Amino acid sequence: MANAPEAPAAAGFLSGRAFAAIRIAATLAIVAGLIFKLSPGDLASTLRDADPWLLLAALMLMALVQALVVAKWLVLLRARDVEAPLLQVIRAYCVGNLLSNVLPTAVGGDVYRVYRIQREANARAADVTMSVLYERATGYGAMTCLGALGAAFYYGEAAIGLLALAAGAAAALLLAVVLPRMPFPAVRHDHFLRNLLAHRRELIAVYQMSVFSIVIQALFISTIALAGRALGIHVSWWYWAFITWVAAIAVLLPITLGGLGVRESSFSGLLKHAGATAAQGASAGFALGLLLIAVNAAGLLAVELVARLGYGAAVAVGSASTPPAQPEADAVAVER
């Protein structure tokens, strides 16, 4: 009888392993089917003819995009008064992205990011969790806006696209004026709503990072467009915005590892509709996944190298929670 409570945990563990096995099998089946349908020769020919300099430019632009996302997450963490060392934030972000892309995790690497930063900064789980959720939400929101604009401009409704741009700019300016002045709800500090939005400063930070995400996602789309141009795909930037949004939504479905196969199939079908070959579209999807893995792996390697050389204490974003980290606290005082 004493061992009875272990049964649900064991069942959950087995069901988690079963789900992971199903996702691995689905990934292998979809990728194998895609390669068989396109033929390995077509894919090899597309990759062999790729422009290496454009691929290198896409790699550099992807590195910039990932650095900007880390900066956005840092702002959201600070808005929650979570003071984590910069190297730990970069490490958590890179490892989380790698987990999301290569391991059969149902919820991606975000759980790891929350766990790691909560532990390193001695912060509340709710604060770190909300920073990750806002980072994700602002990114997907910006991608949705650009995807809708891409559909409007590409399919000939330029007037609708221009009207949407003007309305978005007006709304952003209005919020910039109103948010600092509007009354913030008087809620007790122990109220559960404080877990959703801690204070006005966080509200303003979320708004600012929502606008910043438009820039980040525009650069992300440009990265994919550069990789596509390297593979011989010539379509408008607005069409890239539209299909990147569609592919991003498709990858959210927990079918395969990191969306592998789903992403490539989406690009293949959508780019074939625009005049590219199916092999070029699938290659663009593969290139996007490889760029993400390469940049985050390089970022993780750089962080480990910096830490081993002893520069970790100098490169930090505050550390009020741990007494030995006085140099980090001094760095924050200078930055602020």
Q: What is the pLDDT of residue 13?
A: 42
As given in the structure block, the two tokens for residue 140 are: 């997907």
Residue 4 has pLDDT above 90, yes or no: no
pLDDT of residue 251: 83
pLDDT tens column, 237-258:
999 999 999 998 888 877 766 6
Phi, psi at residue 223, to the nearest 5°? Answer: -60, -45
Q: Are 109 and 207 in contact (CB under 8 A)?
A: no
How far from 127 is each of 123, 170, 290, CA to CA, in Å? 7, 31, 32
Structure-block tokens of residue 313: 């204490």
- Cβ atoms 256, 23 nearer than 8 A: yes
d(CA 12, CA 145): 38
Q: What is the pLDDT of residue 140?
A: 93
Summarize the confidence of residues 21-44 as an average pLDDT.
Answer: 69
- Does the pTM surpass 0.85? The reply is no
Tell me what pLDDT residue 59 has: 96
Task: For residue range 34-54, list pLDDT tens digits in order.
Answer: 666 666 777 777 878 889 999
Distance, first Cα to last Cα, the chain: 58
pLDDT confidence of residue 136? 92
Average pLDDT (43-67) is 91
Q: Domain coordinates of the chain in residue numbers?
A: 45-335
Choice between 227 and 177, residue whose per-residue pLDDT is larger: 227
Q: What is the pLDDT of residue 1?
A: 44
Q: What is the pLDDT of residue 73?
A: 95
61-66 contacts at long range (C-beta below 8 A, 24 or more positions apart): 61/219, 61/222, 61/223, 61/226, 62/220, 62/223, 62/291, 62/292, 62/294, 62/295, 63/295, 63/298, 63/299, 64/219, 65/216, 65/219, 65/220, 65/223, 66/93, 66/97, 66/295, 66/296, 66/299
Task: State how far the Cα of 86 lies from the Cα of 303, in Å rounded to an integer.
Answer: 10
Helices (H), the chain: 6-38, 40-48, 52-79, 86-102, 110-121, 125-154, 158-178, 193-196, 200-230, 237-251, 262-273, 278-308, 326-335
What would the pLDDT profile of 83-135 be if each residue is shown by its tens digit?
888 999 999 999 998 888 766 554 668 888 999 999 888 888 889 999 999 99
Q: CA 83, CA 196: separation in Å to the nearest integer?
A: 19
Structure tokens at 108: 């991606």
3-state secondary structure of 104: coil
Predicted confidence band at 327 (pLDDT cuts at 50, 70, 90)? very low
CB distance 202 to 217 below 8 Å: no
Could you please report the per-residue DSSP string of 234-297?
A: ---HHHHHHHHHHHHHHHTSTTSGGGTTHHHHHHHHHHHHTT--HHHHHHHHHHHHHHHHHHHH
Q: What is the pLDDT of residue 187?
A: 64
Higher pLDDT: 13 or 148? It is: 148
Using pLDDT thresholds of 50, 70 and 90, give the confidence band for residue 16: low
Contact predicate 203/179, CB 8 Å: yes
Q: What is the mean pLDDT of residues 278-304?
A: 91
Average pLDDT over residues 319-327: 40
